[in-house]
Amino acid sequence: MNILDTFHNWRRKRRWNKQYRRGKWVGLKSEKEAIRYYQIIDYIKKYSTRNPSILDIGCGEGVLNERMKGLEFERFMGLDFSEVSIGLAKNKNLPKTEFIAEDAIKFRPKHTFDVIVFNEAFYYIHETEKDNVLNRMLAHLNKDGIIISSIYREGTGCWEYFKENPKLTELEFTTVRTDEELRYWKIGAYKKKLEKNEF
Ligand SMILES: C[S@@+](CC[C@H](N)C(=O)[O-])C[C@H]1O[C@@H](n2cnc3c(N)ncnc32)[C@H](O)[C@@H]1O
């Protein structure tokens, strides 16, 4: 990113912090949104190894983790660049879970994971950084690991980014609809496409 984009990224982070402080995102915990988290959890149950390690990029207040009741996991890491949302997530003291305040654009994982989730977060990755972020995450995905992405409505340039990405093989893709015409999400599960010499 150039200096101007870096500045805008910093301003966006400040805006997220302000919004979390004001409680603008409490609606994510509502039953109206639950169906989206359940679809992600279904994909994890269906396509991931048992007892997976999970990385949630742009985890906000950790709602995905809270919705995972009944899903066994080895460890969960939630990352968000909003220190305020991470503070709220940490206060929940969720078991086997670590929340860290970091920018996905700079984040270099210290571990590998079985599941990496971009849950309503990929739109906020600057266009010039999307490949860098995905490549870094793919490098930290275990063999047989999966990537899950959820995108609200059309989220232009986001769900197609995953669906049409030559580095990924689609396992499943669905549009999760609600009784509100304009409340829907495009959610996909993918695995890493193997290179010719990998098997
Ligand atoms: C719509 S919220 C979704 C929160 C959460 N994934 C959920 O669905 O409950 C988007 C989140 O992405 C985070 N975010 C945006 N850009 C980010 C970045 N560059 N690095 C890390 N987090 C980012 C925001 O702070 C915000 O918490």
Phi and psi angles of residue 53, each rounded to the nearest 5 degrees, phi first:
-95, 135
Q: What is the Cα–Cα distance from 170 to 188, expressed in whole angstroms?
A: 7
What is the full DSSP assignment across 20-61?
HHHTTTGGGGSHHHHHHHHHHHHHHHHHSPSS-EEEEET-TT
For ligand 1, atom 12, the nearest C-alpha belongs to 58
Distance between terminal CA atoms of the chain?
35
Which residues in the chain come in under a pLDDT of 70? 198-199
Residue type for position 43: Y
Read off the tokens for 189: 């599960």
Q: Which of 7, 11, 12, 16 to mutate to test the pocket of ligand 1 (most atoms within 8 A of CB)?
A: 16
3-state class (DSSP) for residue 4: helix
Q: What is the Cα–Cα distance from 60 to 76, expressed in whole angstroms?
A: 14
Q: What CATH number should be reported for the domain whose range is 3-192?
A: 3.40.50.150
Nearest to 48 by CA among 123, 122, 140, 142: 142
Tell me the per-residue pLDDT of 63-121, one tens digit each, with 9 for 90 and over.
999 999 989 999 999 999 999 999 999 999 999 999 999 999 999 999 999 999 999 99
| Domain definitions of the chain by residue range | 3-192
User: 156 alpha carbon to ligand 1 midpoint, in Å?
Assistant: 17
Q: Given this model, what pLDDT does residue 198 score? A: 67
User: 197 alpha carbon to ligand 1 midpoint, in Å?
Assistant: 36
Read off the tokens for 63: 């709602």
User: 56 alpha carbon to ligand 1 midpoint, in Å?
Assistant: 10
Which long-range CB contacts under 8 A does 166-175 form with residues at least 24 apart?
166/193, 167/134, 167/135, 167/138, 167/192, 167/193, 168/192, 168/193, 169/193, 171/43, 171/47, 171/146, 172/43, 172/46, 172/47, 174/39
Per-residue CA distances from 14 to 3, 7, 18, 26, 47 (Å): 17, 11, 6, 18, 36
Residues 6+ apart with CB under 8 A from 29: 61, 63, 66
Which residues have any ligand 1 atom within 6 Å of their CB? 16, 28, 58-60, 63-64, 80-82, 85, 103-105, 119-121, 124-125
